[in-house]
């Protein structure tokens, strides 16, 4: 499976409805959101997505899901961007809940990935995808219960 990293900087793009989206995810099991994507030529529906908080501490992964659309063009502030939809399966509030922080992501083999990208929707190194998913699942379920993907 391929995986992609999407960046969110709350200093540039406040997520005003974050707690409402978390509640909706808990009620429905998934929610959809759309994001800018740089890797629009390789990304496909079904690929794994992780969202990393940047700009403010704590920095790290706070959400995951699967790509649920092909890339599409969108106009924003007079510029055209590629975007995709992500069906989120996990969404945490970094200001209220623990997240998978950069200190953990920058250890071992995972240190070979750029976890603070300048652009959203970069490819995660293929050789790190399984390890990242394992670390994410261990973080989410320290008692050993895993999310079925």
Q: Could you read off the pLDDT tens digit of each residue along the chain, which spans 149 residues?
A: 899 999 999 999 999 999 999 999 999 999 999 999 998 899 999 999 999 999 999 999 999 999 999 999 999 888 899 999 999 999 999 999 999 999 999 999 999 999 999 989 999 999 999 999 999 999 999 876 555 44
In CATH, the architecture of 3-138 is Roll (3.10)
Three-class HEC string of 23-91? HHHHHHCCEEEEEECCCCCCCCCCCEEEEEECCCCCCEEEEEEEECCCCEEEEECCEEEEEEEEEEEEE
Which pTM value belongs to this model? 0.93
């Amino acid at each position: 499976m391929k995986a992609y990293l999407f960046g969110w900087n709350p200093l540039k793009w406040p997520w005003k409805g974050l707690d409402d989206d978390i509640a909706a995810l808990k009620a429905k099991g998934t929610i959809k959101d759309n994001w800018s994507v740089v890797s629009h030529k390789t990304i496909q529906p079904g690929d794994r997505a992780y969202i990393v908080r940047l700009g403010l501490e704590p920095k790290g992964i706070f959400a995951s899901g699967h790509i649920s659309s092909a890339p599409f063009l969108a106009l924003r502030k007079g510029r055209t961007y590629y975007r995709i939809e992500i069906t989120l399966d996990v969404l945490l509030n970094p200001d209220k809940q623990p997240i998978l922080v950069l200190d953990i992501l920058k250890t071992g083999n995972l240190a070979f990935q750029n976890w603070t990208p300048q652009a959203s929707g970069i490819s995660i190194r293929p050789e790190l995808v399984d390890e990242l998913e394992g670390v994410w699942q261990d973080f989410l379920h320290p008692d050993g219960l895993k999310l079925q993907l």
